[in-house]
Amino acid sequence: MSDNPEIGDIELHAFIDGELDAEHVYMFEARMKADPTLADRVAAFRADKEMLKRVYAPVAGGPIPEKWIALAKSSAARGRAPISWRLVGSIAAVFVLGAIGAVGYWERRPSGGSEVVQAALDARTNVSRAQETLSIPAGADIGTYNAVLSSTVALHVKVPDLRRVGYRLTGILLYPRSPDGNAAELLYRDDKDRSFTLYLRRSDGKPRFDQFERDGLRVCVWQDEVLSTVMAGNVSTAAMQRLASLAYTGLTL
């Protein structure tokens, strides 16, 4: 297999999720037969997916458990940051969107725009507006940037690690004095130099899950009572669902 390019995790997930056409499935299966390492990767991801289904399927179709809601309210009242609506929302959403696979759910959401979406896309296309830019060297411990990110957006957040789906953090743009509210943008790139951006700031308090096309990009808005996130990249609907789930939960977990 040394003459063939490495298959990334996003393409691998597309194969597992049945998103490839018949020709590409045949080619993928042929590569698996010739490459035991690739076959092992496929088996490992399939095992993870099945494990998630077994563990979380019983709660995926129901409401968020009352004890989680009570715990979030109690922790918020005491001013404890680690357990929040964001954590509860991310767990519940990932149960539905990640473990069970709900690409159709995303597509049934109404496409639309909002001020935070426009701010995120403006930040993506005009990086010079940032008041501070941090370049992240390859191999850096991204956890060392958690404090500056939290300080900028005035929320307890962490820098998501997206390497398992093929994207490396390359930069952080800070907007600590933005007229729209303190904000930050995380820049990621894959091995084909495709960019994925994650824009975050405080929420207006209205929960929202949405995914749509805008300006040639796939855009995902994931907002709860505390945090607004807008993710954008040249990716498929299914790839955005995986990236969004990992990015959103990575901000908290």
Q: Report the alpha-carbon distance of residue 85 to residue 105 in Å, rounded.
A: 22
Claim to verify: residue 152 and residue 30 sit in the same structural domain: no
Amino acid (1-letter code) at residue 137: P
pLDDT tens, 141-191?
999 999 999 999 999 899 999 998 899 999 999 998 777 679 999 999 999
Q: How many other CB atoms are there within 10 angstroms of residue 214's CB atom? A: 16
What's residue 218's pLDDT? 92
Is residue 92 situated within a structural domain? no
Mean pLDDT is lowest, of 38-47, 128-137, 149-158, 203-212, for 38-47
Claim to verify: residue 48 and residue 153 sit in the same structural domain: no
Q: Report the alpha-carbon distance of residue 248 to residue 253 in Å, rounded.
A: 9
Is the confidence at residue 3, as pLDDT, over 50? no
What's residue 186's pLDDT? 97
Could you tell me the CA-to-CA distances from 129 to 36, 175, 219 in Å, in that order? 48, 8, 21
Query: Which pLDDT band holds residue 105 (cuts at 50, 70, 90)?
Result: very low
Q: Report the alpha-carbon distance of residue 233 to residue 219 in Å, rounded.
A: 7
Claim to verify: residue 114 and residue 233 sit in the same structural domain: yes
Give the phi and the psi of residue 31 in degrees, each rounded to 5.
Answer: -65, -35
Is the confidence at residue 134, as pLDDT, over 60? yes
Output 120 or 8, whichever has higher pLDDT: 120
Q: How many domains does the chain have?
A: 2
Query: Residue 191 sits in which domain range?
Result: 110-250
Claim to verify: residue 229 and residue 123 sit in the same structural domain: yes
Q: For 22, which DSSP code?
A: H
Claim to verify: residue 169 and residue 233 sit in the same structural domain: yes
Please give the model's pTM, rounded to 2 decimal places: 0.64
